[in-house]
Structure 1
């Protein structure tokens, strides 16, 4: 029993400690994504965090009107709808300013 305890402590001691951003290389990566739909009217903008950016969990990060950042999965229809709406709104704003 003591040998098992000593071995367990040795494994814990030599294992790397998780950082604040988990095992992601980039500091601003999502550790998980919400499967619950986020109301589109509270979203101000978005950005992608992908595996090629050093993130283990690919995600869309929505920024709310209050500045909160919410991680969402790339492949959900509700995520795609919000992105399309934001892109249309952005295109209209650019067209008006020209």
Structure 2
């Protein structure tokens, strides 16, 4: 076989191999490229993710995830976005407080001592 034949066969064979996606970064990562200006009702928001322009994507954004797993891009500069984030953070804080209360509450077999002295 000639060198040209071997080269052509090698090129065809290598082009049939699947390319490694790790070499190109996370291909399934979708970046926000524009914002919605329409406020979302708070009841449809299930959570959020922060997108930073310092990472893979070009703009800073808040990505709201709806209860139907739809992703909505919004700007942190919008008042409705800041209000929604504040509401979500307060819900998280309440859940964390409830969880810590459950951890510190005495169980059914615990003895709770109280001060029963009467003050004049």
User: What's the CA shift for 1:28?
Assistant: 2.6
Which consecutive residues of structure 1, in runs of 5 or more, have no partner in the other structure?
Answer: 1-24
Map Cα deviations across residues 40-97 of structure 1 (whole Å, 9 max, x no partner): 1110111110111221121100011111111111100000000000000001011101
Tell me whether 1:34 sits opposite 2:36 in the alignment.
yes
Match of 1:19 in 2: none
Distance 1:53 1:36 in 2: 26
Aligned to 2:96: 94
Q: Any stretches of 5+ residues in structure 2 without a counterpart?
A: 1-24, 101-120
Give me the whole-angstrom Cα distance separating, in 2, the residues matched to 1:29 and 1:71.
9
The two structures have a TM-score, normalised by structure 1, of 0.69
CA distance in 2, matches of 1:66, 1:36: 18
Name the counterpart of 2:65: 63
Structure 1 match to 2:86 = 84
Aligned to 2:104: none
With a CA cutoff of 8 Å and minimum separation of 6, indicate the structure with the bigger relative contact order: 1
